[in-house]
Amino acid sequence: MAYTNVNDPSVYFQTTLYTGNGGTQSVTNGGNSDLQPDLVWIKDRDSGAAYHRLVDTVRGATKLLYSNGTNAQDTDATSLTSFNSDGFTVSSGGGVNASGNSFVSWNWKAGTSFTNDASSTGIGTIDSAGSFNNTAGFSIVSYTGTGSNGTIKHGLSTAPEMYITKSLSSARSWAVYNQNIGNTKAVFLNSTDAQDTDATYWNSTSPTSSVLSLGTRSEMNHSGENFIAYCFAPKQGYSKFGSYTGNGNADGTFVYTGFKPALIIQKNSGATGNWILYDNKRDVDNVANKILIPNNSSAEASACDVDLLSNGFKFRAVNDASSNKSANTYIYMAFAEHPFTSSTGTPVTAR
């Protein structure tokens, strides 16, 4: 049997660290292969004033969204100015290149463009366009809201288990769908709020292998507004999207992913609390505890101990509400450094 179709996750996802120079610089992704990214998420690790910045190839270079804000899309010619064959170029903007500051970028590959005229193809009810990668289970989708229940083609060949939507036109929250909390609930990437229940988020309808469903809520379907959606489908040995229940003690709940994690983003879905982001480049040994918080602009801090293991992860912070409170439910998304076992049967090494 095939353990994974992704022997080298660095083809599709990489975390890259760099130091700002205050001018212009090309940031090169490393890994075992070059990665031309289609979504780049950048954070200044040293500054509590610098927002998280997200740029993608569907919207274009210099077009910014901020995960810790409700802001409409911003255009900044001093930010990320180009996507390159092995990384990206940043200009003099402090949020992406402040001189002497330490930065982290998380980079995902999509790469195949698509457009869908829903009335012509019969796929979905709302036109969409974007970029997708079926091997990696990732797509970036743009569409215009109608204000009515509808569906949009997401570009993937399997149903996404997690997706994040954001209005480009107005100041609205980032609505997040996760299959483990269901199709009547949403959480918000820019907020500490617990999950909210409302059938009008996703029209009480789970995504299929061709479309995702939108309800009438303004966060994902306000009439006449432009939106972007980042869609993620799980791939064995490369990515996983799910939930776990905290146990409150130092020998925390083990979460099996089937790979050594390179990136984990998680949140207490049932209670107020921050989103927490970890990666294997800022923390090279266990216990990992260098966190960034997607819903605020805080500088890097040390908290919420976690072990990144060869086949999953385990939170060890005792009764910590953000990561391991007893009987609390947490949703997560995780991407691989290396599959637990490659397609040729080669096992991963431990940290």
Whether 212 maps to a domain, the answer reads: yes
Share of the chain above pLDDT 70, in %: 96
Q: Is the pLDDT of residue 1 over 60?
A: no
Per residue in 155-197, pLDDT (tens digit) is 999 999 999 999 999 999 999 999 999 999 999 999 999 999 9
Instruction: Find the CATH number of the domain harbouring 26.
Output: 2.60.320
Residues 53, 42: contact at Cβ < 8 Å? yes
Whether 76 maps to a domain, the answer reads: yes
Which whole number is the average pLDDT over 53-59? 98
End-to-end CA distance of the chain: 26
Same domain for 96 and 27, yes or no, is: yes
Same domain for 209 and 250, yes or no, is: no
Please enumerate in sequence order all residues whose Cβ is within 8 A of that of 212, keeping only pairs 6 or more positions apart, or say none: 151, 152, 154, 160, 163, 177, 202, 229, 231
Per residue in 188-239, pLDDT (tens digit) is 999 999 999 999 999 999 999 999 999 999 999 999 999 999 999 999 999 9
DSSP state for residue 97 in the 8-state scheme: H
* φ, ψ (nearest 5 deg) of residue 203: 55, 30
Same domain for 175 and 88, yes or no, is: no
Domain with 312, as residue range(s), is: 240-339
**Total domains in the fold of the chain:** 3
Q: What is the average pLDDT score of the chain? A: 95
* Listed residues 80, 108, 136: the one ending a domain: 108
Per residue in 20-35, pLDDT (tens digit) is 999 999 999 986 678 9
